[in-house]
Amino acid sequence: MPTPASRLGLVRHGATNWTLAGRYQGHANPPLCATGIAQAASLGLRLRAEPAGMIVTSPLMRARQTADILAEALGLSAPQIDPDLTEMNFGDWEGLTQAEVKARWPQVLRAWKQTPYAIRLPGGEILPEMRERVRAGLRRWHGQPGQVLLVTHAVWIRLACIENGEAIAEEFRNIEVAPASVHWVATAPDKDPGLATTSNKKEISCVSP
């Protein structure tokens, strides 16, 4: 019997107080706020129409809380934890607003906005390094039977959409990833995710709050 077609649901965690304040979060570990808990609960109700077989989550608290809420709503077993789903390390920017970053690192912030793949964040990562984690995570869960929800973070989802051919690298900043939204990407057991080009770009299916 052939393996059922599979699909990955790339879920961004619900909002935290830092999300609402516009603070860079990265590897910092703020919990969901009341708004984020409500967003995750609402997403869980909507996802009942898109039955998943399993949930995998980033180890960061905001993602794990979101994954637990989704698992309860969907009647699934406890989410698995995958460190490769962790958000980008924003280093010295974590906990700061963009205005605060601009006051201290104006040139670095400008470079991050204009050429994001070329700039290492102070004390943090550069996107090509994070890309390796994204590729590892996609390889690990591609080809699983049925649908798998990966509960992760905004930068991770943007890079995953590019790696999976849902967008091109130049569109990195234009991929909208709202809190508690889902980007569905098709997978296949023999597919090796790689950096997309214009010729293999596909539409992104996104479910927002």
For residues 77-92, give the mean pLDDT: 98
pLDDT at 89 over 60: yes
Q: What distance in Å separates the CA atoms of residue 199 and residue 96, rounded to the nearest whole number?
A: 38
Q: What distance in Å separates the CA atoms of residue 8 and residue 32, rounded to the nearest whole number?
A: 23
Q: Provide the pLDDT for residue 143.
A: 76
Higher pLDDT residue, 205 or 29?
A: 29
- Average pLDDT of every residue of the chain: 88
pLDDT at 190 over 80: no
Q: Which amino acid is at 147?
A: Q
pLDDT digit string (tens) for 139-174? 999 878 789 999 999 999 999 999 988 889 999 999
User: Does the residue 22 lie in any domain?
Assistant: yes
Four-CA torsion 70, 73, 75, 77, nearest 10 degrees? 30
Domain count, the chain: 1
Copy the structure tokens of residue 35: 């708004």
Four-CA torsion 121, 16, 152, 104, nearest 10 degrees? 0
For residues 85-102, give the mean pLDDT: 98
List of E strands, the chain: 6-12, 54-57, 80-81, 147-152, 182-187, 205-207
Q: Provide the pLDDT for residue 187.
A: 64
| pTM for the predicted model, two decimal places | 0.88
Asked which of 6-15, 92-101, 150-159, 190-199 is least confident by mean pLDDT, the reply is 190-199
User: Does the residue 25 lie in any domain?
Assistant: yes
pLDDT at 55 over 70: yes
DSSP 53: S
Higher pLDDT residue, 191 or 138?
A: 138
Q: Provide the pLDDT for residue 146.
A: 81
pLDDT at 100 over 50: yes
User: Does the residue 66 lie in any domain?
Assistant: yes
Q: What distance in Å separates the CA atoms of residue 67 and residue 58, rounded to the nearest whole number?
A: 9
User: Does the residue 178 lie in any domain?
Assistant: yes
Q: Provide the pLDDT for residue 165.
A: 87
User: Does the residue 59 lie in any domain?
Assistant: yes
User: Does the residue 1 lie in any domain?
Assistant: no
Q: Provide the pLDDT for residue 67.
A: 98
The bridge status of strand 6-12 relative to strand 182-187 is antiparallel
Cα-Cα-Cα-Cα dihedral sign, residues 72, 76, 79, 84: negative
pLDDT band at 199 (very low <50, low <70, confident <90, very high): very low
Question: What are the two backbone dihedrals, phi and then psi, of residue 19, each rounded to the nearest 5 degrees?
Answer: -60, -50
Q: Provide the pLDDT for residue 39.
A: 98
pLDDT digit string (tens) for 1-14? 334 447 899 999 99
CATH number of the structural domain spanning residue 86: 3.40.50.1240
Catalytic residue numbers?
13, 87
Domain with 141, as residue range(s), is 6-207
pLDDT at 33 over 70: yes
